[in-house]
Amino acid sequence: MIPFTKGHGTENDFVIIEDAEAAFDPDAAWVAAVCDRRAGIGADGLLRVVPTAAMPGYEQDAAEAPWFMDYRNADGSIAEMCGNGTRVFARYLVAHDLAKPGRFSIATRGGVKHMHVPEDGGDVTVDMGRSVWPAESAEVLVGDRWLPAVNVDMGNPHAVVFVDDVAEAGRLWEAPQVRPQSVYPHGVNVEFVAPAGPRRIAMRVHERGSGETRSCGTGACAAMVAAARRDAAAPETPYEVRVPGGVLRIVEHEDGRIEMTGPAVLVATGELLPDGLTAK
């Protein structure tokens, strides 16, 4: 029996497995089976809660951030970061007495992230760090048109495409075509962004390794900073990012730090029966 918790942030959903002894390292096929929406629990990804001191290459972060968010995409591949996942992970730590409400830090492959989980159970805020703007540029195929993409790195890669209506993205069952592929040798998250009012944008996203998801926190941050640059918005100008699963509030501060605030909800607990999972 493997205990699990199910949670979501703006309907970007995750299976959470606590591994306090750092004794469980799931392979890609097992993760994919757990995340399968018909034969498994169903999720956009898996969050393993593991001591930072037990993660090779990240031990130096343990003093500041005792717990490491080991994030896997729905296909089992390892990802650098997940913005919505950090909020759900932080909510889990507080709910299971692994952290106290208020401000604390967690470790990720995208660096240490500073969290604020209010005592009243309200929305969680995460300091996402600063965006990076690689020099390389690419285009994304939207319908029968190649449109320019804004290349933004939020600890993981993003290609932000501005459209008039997010419906132009079509069916995002398959990864959008990107050229040249050399810009994103390990794949990319693609955001389709449309205006939704003053300092408001709408977004749909195809997440690398997961397909279209109801929300993507790092993608929302990438979309926000790309829109703010396009709009010539001053620092400290908050944006509302509307995704199919809800609303995220994002602000870029004077020093370049990006803070994202949104819901983080734990919805169920249970036990996995390993023999019931069938790897494809």
As a whole number of angstroms, the distance between CA 278 and CA 280 comes to: 6
Q: Say yes or no: 245 and 268 in one domain.
A: no
Q: Say yes or no: 155 and 84 in one domain.
A: no
Q: Say yes or no: 169 and 61 in one domain.
A: no
Q: Say yes or no: 142 and 90 in one domain.
A: no
Q: Which pLDDT band, with edges at 50, 70 and 90, does 92 fall under?
A: very high
Q: Say yes or no: 110 and 145 in one domain.
A: no
Domain membership of residue 103 (yes or no) is yes
**Residues known to be catalytic:** 82, 216
Domain membership of residue 132 (yes or no) is no
Domain total in the chain? 2
Q: What is the mean pLDDT of residues 208-234?
A: 96
Domain membership of residue 128 (yes or no) is no
Q: Say yes or no: 248 and 177 in one domain.
A: yes
Q: What is the DSSP letter of 163?
A: -
Q: Say yes or no: 243 and 180 in one domain.
A: yes
Give the helix/strand (H/E) hosting 215. Answer: none
Our measurement of the distance from residue 224's CA atom to the centroid of its chain's CA atoms, rounded to an integer in Å, reads: 14
Q: Say yes or no: 59 and 99 in one domain.
A: yes
Our measurement of the distance from residue 243's CA atom to the centroid of its chain's CA atoms, rounded to an integer in Å, reads: 13
Amino acid at site 254: E
Q: What is the CATH number of the domain that holds 252?
A: 3.10.310.10
> Could you read off the pLDDT of 166-217 as tens digits, one per residue?
999 999 989 999 999 999 999 999 999 999 999 999 999 999 999 999 999 9
Domain membership of residue 252 (yes or no) is yes
Domain membership of residue 133 (yes or no) is no
Tokens of 49: 């809660």
Domain membership of residue 130 (yes or no) is no
As a whole number of angstroms, the distance between CA 16 and CA 71 comes to: 9
Domain membership of residue 131 (yes or no) is no
| Predicted model pTM | 0.94
Q: Say yes or no: 113 and 7 in one domain.
A: yes
Q: What is the mean pLDDT of residues 4-25?
A: 97
Q: What is the pLDDT of residue 280?
A: 61
> Could you read off the pLDDT of 93-105 as tens digits, one per residue?
999 999 999 999 9
Q: What is the pLDDT of residue 93?
A: 98
Q: Say yes or no: 161 and 75 in one domain.
A: no
Q: Which of 102, 59, 61, 108 is nearest to 80 (CA)?
A: 108
Q: What is the DSSP letter of 122?
A: -
Q: What is the mean pLDDT of residues 243-249?
A: 98
pLDDT of 279 over the 70 cut: no
Domain membership of residue 129 (yes or no) is no
Full residue range of the structural domain in which residue 191 is found: 138-259
Q: Say yes or no: 109 and 145 in one domain.
A: no
> Could you read off the pLDDT of 43-91 as tens digits, one per residue?
999 999 999 999 999 999 999 999 999 999 999 999 889 999 999 999 9
Q: Say yes or no: 254 and 269 in one domain.
A: no
Q: What is the pLDDT of residue 175?
A: 94
